[in-house]
């Protein structure tokens, strides 16, 4: 709907008046052929009732409406209009194109948001400020938040229940799978193949590592070091069924005959370079997976692989 | 009332007041309340028609959704016209129905109604009795319309023949307007009107 005519200073040309609302064109738009201009909201409302030009009844549909010529827009933007908040004391007279910007910051706007200065800190529309009661507002706020809190609590309980339920079901499924695997040889073969594939996929996703100083190998890592490596492996997406075995194989007591003592290690030193190692990001350690190393002799490899922890020398 | 309707009516009211038709006394408009929802219109019967010299009062109701919907207009003054009900004053005029356009105003409505008085559309009647008379006996229609204009709209044409016949029926205990309707409907044949009234 357009701007009321009596808000303008001086005469407004008839051409700038919307034939529907009889106000000065707001957001003007025109019909394609007859070029009659209307406020956008007015003509949209009319076309929703019947698709004709309200002046000459030519067929017009919404997508056919066009922007009015620049000259019309310029003439409109030059008109001088009083502020919307004139009745609340604003005496400003502005160019029509500056009105929107002024309204944003007009201090006479009764709905202008202001902070309460009595200490509650809430932002209140100006016209509601005089009836504003901090305690009442804050109480209402607390009330709604309490309600929200209760809702969350309820949801939390619900979710916890669901989680427990799912955990139980998952365990049941696992048990069932284990039983199938034990009782049925073909199932066992399938499960084994799936696990092998999973290890292979994981291994392919890891980056190669290069050991520059094999002498830095720690053959008896302590508990803390082991836990740290284990956590990293979990974060790397290590398949759970090999995680424990891998971690067991980080200590010389579980290493293959060719590595399990200082003496055999000395003897087999030259074979180290043949290992294909994978990086353990951020750690001085490498993974030597048996699926990557079928070329190594049996006395140099164990299933499903080894973890070698170093003091230094990993790239 | 929606802001847009009030704004429009305010402006249209001024437009009518300032118009040359008002200056010539051809149309008149009067506000009946402060909310711009009810107005009284008046149009002069056009020259060279049976309505010449008469003043016809109209009831105008402005709907909430004006100007997206037309104003509701009807004749308060009784009139004998094919497109206007002689009973209720309801008007059959396309622009007051589906041919309404939002850019039309009360002034254009009043002028259109005046034009309707000059050019009846008997093929699109509101009053079937009047329309039949118009098509079958144009002279009789003109005479009746003139008489109604004289009686109800202050027209100058007095038809003593009509008045006499009405008086005869009144003497038989018939109410005046009822008598006039019956006589008008039966081409002023007293016997047939009487027959209809007493059947």
The residues, any chain, with a CB within 8 Å of residue A111's CB and separated by 6 or more, are A125, A126, A127
Number of residues assigned to chain B: 199
Chain B residue numbers touching A20 (CB-CB < 8 A): 4, 67-68, 102-103
Q: Which of A15, A19, A37, A57 to mutate to test the interface with B (most CBs of B within 10 A)?
A: A19
The C-alpha atoms of residue B146 and residue B125 are separated, in whole angstroms, by 19
Overall number of domains in chain A:
3
- Whole-number pLDDT of residue A282: 85
| Rounded average pLDDT over B137-160 | 92
Question: Would you say residue A114 lies in a domain?
Answer: no
Do residues A267 and A300 share a domain? yes
Domain end, chosen from A82, A116, A147, is at: A82
- Whole-number pLDDT of residue A187: 87
The domain in which residue A153 lies consists of 138-183
The C-alpha atoms of residue A202 and residue A220 are separated, in whole angstroms, by 26
Q: How many CB pairs under 8 A join A and B?
A: 40
| Rounded average pLDDT over B18-24 | 78
Number of residues assigned to chain A: 315
**In Å, how far are A45, A139, A284, B127 from A131, measured between CA atoms?**
38, 16, 69, 62
Instruction: List every span in chain B annotated with CATH 3.10.110.10.
Output: 3-118
Chain B residue numbers touching A52 (CB-CB < 8 A): 101
Do residues A165 and A217 share a domain? no
Number of H helices, E strands in chain A: 8, 12
The H or E element spanning position A123 is: strand A123-125
- Whole-number pLDDT of residue B1: 44
Residue A190 touches partner B, C-beta closer than 8 Å: no
- Minimal Cα distance from A49: which residue of B? B68
Q: Which pLDDT band holds residue A41 (cuts at 50, 70, 90)?
A: very high
Question: Would you say residue A179 lies in a domain?
Answer: yes
pLDDT at A153 > cutoff 50: yes
B122 contacts B82 by C-beta, under 8 angstroms: yes
Average pLDDT for chain B: 90
Residue A23 touches partner B, C-beta closer than 8 Å: yes
What letter does residue A251 receive in the DSSP assignment?
S
Fold classified for B3-118: Ubiquitin Conjugating Enzyme (3.10.110)
Average pLDDT for chain A: 89
Give me the CATH number covering residue A63: 3.30.40.10
Question: Would you say residue A190 lies in a domain?
Answer: no
The C-alpha atoms of residue A306 and residue A16 are separated, in whole angstroms, by 85
Question: Would you say residue A192 lies in a domain?
Answer: no
Chain B residue numbers touching A1 (CB-CB < 8 A): 3-4, 7
Distance from CA of A157 to the nearest CA of B (A): 51
Q: What is the pLDDT of residues B113-147, one digit of tens each?
A: 999 999 999 898 999 999 999 999 999 999 999 99
List the one residue out of B159, B166, B171, B167 whose CA is nearest residue B183. B166
| Rounded average pLDDT over B33-48 | 91
List the one residue out of A36, A22, A146, A25 whose CA is nearest residue A76. A25
Question: Would you say residue A67 lies in a domain?
Answer: yes
pLDDT at B97 > cutoff 50: yes
Query: Which two structure tokens, joined as six digits, stand for A66?
Result: 């066009």
pLDDT at B2 > cutoff 70: no
| Rounded average pLDDT over A6-14 | 88
Question: Would you say residue A167 lies in a domain?
Answer: yes
pLDDT at A27 > cutoff 50: yes
Q: What is the pLDDT of residues A185-214, one digit of tens each?
A: 888 888 889 989 999 999 999 989 888 888
The residues, any chain, with a CB within 8 Å of residue A218's CB and separated by 6 or more, are A225, A309, A310, A311
Q: What is the pLDDT of residues A63-107, one digit of tens each?
A: 999 999 999 999 999 999 999 888 888 888 989 988 989 988 888
Phi then psi for A15, rounded to 5 degrees? -65, -20
Chain A residue numbers touching B70 (CB-CB < 8 A): none
- Minimal Cα distance from B4: which residue of A? A21
- Complex ipTM over 0.85: no
Other beta carbons less than 10 A from residue A166's beta carbon? 10
Q: What is the pLDDT of residues B161-188, one digit of tens each?
A: 899 999 999 998 889 999 999 999 999 9
- Whole-number pLDDT of residue A271: 87
Residue A208 touches partner B, C-beta closer than 8 Å: no
Q: Which pLDDT band holds residue B48 (cuts at 50, 70, 90)?
A: very high
Q: B104: burial class by Cβ within 10 Å (0-12, 13-18, 19+)? A: buried
């Amino acid at each position: 709907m357009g701007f009321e005519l009596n808000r303008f200073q001086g005469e407004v040309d008839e051409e700038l008046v919307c034939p529907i609302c009889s106000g000065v064109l707001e957001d003007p738009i025109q019909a394609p052929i007859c070029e009659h201009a209307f406020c956008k909201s007015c003509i949209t409302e009319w076309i929703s009732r019947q698709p004709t030009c309200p002046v000459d009844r030519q067929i017009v549909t919404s997508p056919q409406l066009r922007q009015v010529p620049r000259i019309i827009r310029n003439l409109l933007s030059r008109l001088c209009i009083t502020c919307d908040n004139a009745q609340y004391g604003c005496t400003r007279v502005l160019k029509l194109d500056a009105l929107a910007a002024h309204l944003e910051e007009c201090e006479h706007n009764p709905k202008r948001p202001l902070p309460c200065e009595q200490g509650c800190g809430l932002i209140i529309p100006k016209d509601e400020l005089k009836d504003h009661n901090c305690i009442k507002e804050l109480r209402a706020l607390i009330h709604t938040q309490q309600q929200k809190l209760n809702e969350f609590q309820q949801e939390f309980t619900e979710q916890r229940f669901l989680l427990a339920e799912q955990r139980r079901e998952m365990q049941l499924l696992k048990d069932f799978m284990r039983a199938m695997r034990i009782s049925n040889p073909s199932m066992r073969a399938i499960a084994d193949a799936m696990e092998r594939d999973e290890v292979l996929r994981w291994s392919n996703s890891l980056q190669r590592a290069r050991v520059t100083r094999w002498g830095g190998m720690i053959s008896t890592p302590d508990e803390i070091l082991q836990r740290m490596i284990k956590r990293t492996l979990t974060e790397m997406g290590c398949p759970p069924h090999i995680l424990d075995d891998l971690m067991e194989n980080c200590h010389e007591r579980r290493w293959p005959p060719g590595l399990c003592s200082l003496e055999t290690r000395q003897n087999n030193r030259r074979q180290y370079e043949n290992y294909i190692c994978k990086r353990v990001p951020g750690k001085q350690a490498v993974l030597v997976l048996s699926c990557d190393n079928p070329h190594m002799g049996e006395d140099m490899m164990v299933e499903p692989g080894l973890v070698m922890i170093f003091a230094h020398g990993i790239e | 009332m929606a802001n847009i309707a009030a704004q429009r009516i305010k402006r249209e009211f001024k437009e009518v007041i300032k118009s040359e038709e008002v200056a010539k006394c051809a149309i008149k408009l009067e506000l009946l309340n402060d909310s711009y929802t009810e107005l009284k219109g008046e149009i002069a019967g056009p020259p060279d028609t049976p309505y010449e010299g008469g003043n016809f009062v109209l009831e105008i109701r402005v709907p909430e959704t004006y100007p997206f919907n037309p104003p509701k207009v009807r004749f308060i003054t009784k009139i004998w016209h094919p497109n206007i009900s002689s009973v209720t004053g309801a008007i059959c005029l396309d622009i007051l129905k589906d041919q309404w356009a939002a850019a039309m105003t009360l002034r254009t409505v009043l002028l259109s109604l005046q034009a309707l008085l000059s050019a009846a559309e008997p093929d699109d009647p509101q009053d079937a009795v009047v329309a039949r008379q118009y098509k079958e006996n144009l002279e009789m229609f003109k005479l009746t319309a003139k008489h109604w204009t004289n009686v109800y709209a202050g027209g100058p044409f007095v038809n003593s023949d009509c008045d006499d016949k009405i008086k005869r029926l009144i003497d038989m205990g018939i109410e005046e307007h009822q008598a006039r309707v019956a006589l008008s409907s039966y081409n002023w044949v007293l016997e047939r009107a009487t027959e209809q009234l007493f059947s």
